[in-house]
Amino acid sequence: MIHLIMLLLSFFGAIMVTSASMSGQNTQSLAFLITKQFGFIVISYILMIFFARKFQWKWFFNPSRGLNYILLFFLVFILVPRFFDPVYGSYNWIQLPGGFTIQSSEISKPFIIAIIASVLGGLPVDSWMLDKERLKKVKFTDKIKRVWTVVKGPLIAVVAMMGIILIVQNDFGTFMIILVIAATLVFMASHPFITGLQRILLIVFIVAIGIGVFAMTPGGIHLLETIGFEEYQLNRITSLYTLFERDRILSTSMQQVNGLLAFAKGGLFGNGLGSSILKYGYIPEQESDYVLAILIDEFGFIGFLLITIGYIIIMFILFKHAFKIKHQPSRLYLIGTATYIFVHYLFNVGGTSGLIPLTGVPLLLISAGGSSQMAIFIAMGISQNIIARHVSSERKRK
């Protein structure tokens, strides 16, 4: 089912990218874009099959040979885009000959999930730790020290990667996605020594949500201006409550207003494939960040509902197996992948509909972009490997 839905959403996404790109491009440019999009689907599919068949957790459980090399590779990989020209203010693209680009932070996501899952899921559990009375006698600081000795290397590396993505690459959207995934995995990890830490992190998470909500108020905007946030970053927030002001409709709010207009024009059943006129200069990035607006304009709420059902089915299958699997790293990886899909969906749909600030996050499998396509296919390949191993072991046991 996962395999089928991935292919259906990908090919539908390629059709939508083709339709959204018919906005004055010449035939040669359009043909190149279509070829590139379908080419990335083929490459992504091959990667999914490879990881579905070959993935092994031992790559991440041998610090001397596997994990250290993986951490070093991705630290360098995420740093490389800094040596290329920025795209829309962000240094997150490796520019290759022939007009091809690779977003290193995007491709790193499935492997960062695997690193966090392997570290948190691989924490050693001794038999005495299951004795609640003995466990109560161990100080909280001693528990943290013992956990720290196991996780410090990978944790420092992952934090460094996130810091590079936020500060060096200036990619706030990707940083937030990895942060939410990492926080989810920490909450879902199961070990007697981290329950206290999980409670503290939950409080921090609630406070962070409160700060985020405050940042979207006039008082919060003033504070962000004082801190030194750039004007384009502030405009993404202020547009939430100044969306339809006359001086903004043709400037900072134009993209979101026209996106909402596409939603209204599409109605229940849409106006038909290729019929949207808003892609002709009215909605920037209509084939990537704002492809949802064109999709709803042409296929209506029904089209949006169908792709949403596809995401829900995939996440349901991932969670269903996650709560059956006893191997902790595998369980965490499935939860991380489901969170990955959900957060991308939330950020893209929320930004396009004006419910949250725009973050430039693609709608997985639908938006243009080879990097995001390859990343989610790799993640789903690893997930299918985990599910297949679990199903096979259950059959042997029975």
Q: Where are the domains of the chain?
A: 1-53+253-314+346-398, 55-209
Mean pLDDT lowest among 196-205, 313-322, 369-378: 196-205
Region 351-369: mean pLDDT is 83
Integer Cα distance of 345 and 336 in angstroms: 14
Region 206-218: mean pLDDT is 81
pLDDT score at 46: 95
pLDDT score at 28: 65
pLDDT score at 41: 92
Question: What mean pLDDT is reported for the chain?
Answer: 83
The strand ranges marked E within the chain are 94-95, 101-102
pLDDT score at 104: 87
Integer Cα distance of 337 and 308 in angstroms: 16
Q: What is the pTM of this model?
A: 0.88
> Which residues touch 29 (CB under 8 Å, ≥6 apart)?
none
pLDDT score at 129: 65
| Banded pLDDT at 24 (limits 50, 70, 90) | low
pLDDT score at 139: 79
Region 221-248: mean pLDDT is 71
Q: Given a cut of 80, is residue 136 above it in pLDDT?
A: no
> Which residues touch 396 (CB under 8 Å, ≥6 apart)?
none
Tokens 């199961």 sit on residue: 190
pLDDT score at 130: 65
pLDDT score at 204: 84
Q: For the beta carbon of residue 168, count every other beta carbon within 10 angstroms.
A: 14
Region 261-287: mean pLDDT is 83
Helical packing angle, 68-79 and 104-121, nearest 10°: 150
Region 277-285: mean pLDDT is 77
pLDDT score at 252: 67
pLDDT score at 25: 60
Identify the burial level of 185 via C-beta atoms within 10 angstroms of its C-beta, where 0-12 means exposed, 13-18 middle and 19 or more buried.
buried
Integer Cα distance of 258 and 352 in angstroms: 10
Q: Given a cut of 80, is residue 313 above it in pLDDT?
A: yes
pLDDT score at 75: 83
User: For a pLDDT cut of 70, what percent of the chain falls above it?
Assistant: 89
pLDDT score at 131: 66
Question: Is residue 380 within 8 Å of residue 50, measured between CB atoms?
Answer: no
> Which residues touch 153 (CB under 8 Å, ≥6 apart)?
63, 67, 68, 71
pLDDT score at 86: 78
Q: Given a cut of 80, is residue 363 above it in pLDDT?
A: yes
User: For a pLDDT cut of 90, what percent of the chain falls above it?
Assistant: 29
pLDDT score at 12: 93
Segment 53-84, tens digit of pLDDT: 999 888 877 655 567 778 888 888 888 888 88
DSSP tally for the chain: helices H, then strands E: 15, 2
Integer Cα distance of 328 and 355 in angstroms: 35
Question: Is residue 273 within 8 Å of residue 298, measured between CB atoms?
Answer: yes
Residue type, 210: G
Identify the burial level of 350 via C-beta atoms within 10 angstroms of its C-beta, where 0-12 means exposed, 13-18 middle and 19 or more buried.
middle
Mean pLDDT lowest among 3-12, 154-163, 247-256: 247-256
pLDDT score at 21: 80
Q: Is the dihedral of CA 332, 333, 338, 340 positive or negative?
A: positive
Q: Given a cut of 90, is residue 227 above it in pLDDT?
A: no
Region 39-66: mean pLDDT is 84
